[in-house]
Structure 1
Amino acid sequence: MPEDDVESPAAPTTWLTPEEARARWLDAPEDEAQLAELLEAAREACEAYAPAEDDPERPGWPALRRAQETHVRNLWNAALAAPSSGDFGEGSYTVSTHPLDWHVKQMLRPARAVPVVG
């Protein structure tokens, strides 16, 4: 069969599943519930930051999925490291905040060149 006739698999049009994340990320958390929770948190952050679904500026699924993957790794790495700032609370009752990384923001809202008139 000629190569032109071979159908390529369709690109995914959904957020990452725990199974997909584990296949792409060898150091993912071993606990399934923990991985699912991290993926959900990353998805929610990406959805909140990305342009609306009907916005023509919204990136395609490859960028959305890569942003989710990058952010979930950042969340996991931040949870493993002792943060130096951004903590609320005292003693063992602290909450650490971890904003979207600039790489993730760039994937969700790519910078566009703006012509300067003057």
Structure 2
Amino acid sequence: MRYLLDTCVISDFIKGETGTQTRLKQRWDMAVLRESPWYQQILKEGIQEGRQEGEIQLVLRLLKRRFGVLDEGLQQQIQRLSVEKLETLAEELLDFSTLQDLETWLKQN
């Protein structure tokens, strides 16, 4: 396991500067935490959620530009889609000519 510690904090610790033990322990604890599977899993989930939110916003913007404001029901259906489905929808909507095409696609997916 790699531990990345701030060299300034270590230098202060060696010099006997006050408060450096606390800062050194905090840096050490954070380095250990970042290496933990628990932290890595939460980070991965956060990245996935951010990606999904970005896809949702992109699809909604594209649909709004093409068809105007969507009703709340359609927006909610889109917000429940997985990232993979959102990516597919982003491509498919380029071929939609009516709002009915979107509704049909959502029913099928």
Q: Same fold (TM over 0.5)?
A: no
TM-score where L is the length of structure 1: 0.32
Larger radius of gyration: 2
Higher strand residue share: 1
Q: Which structure is higher in helix share?
A: 2
TM-score by length of 2: 0.34
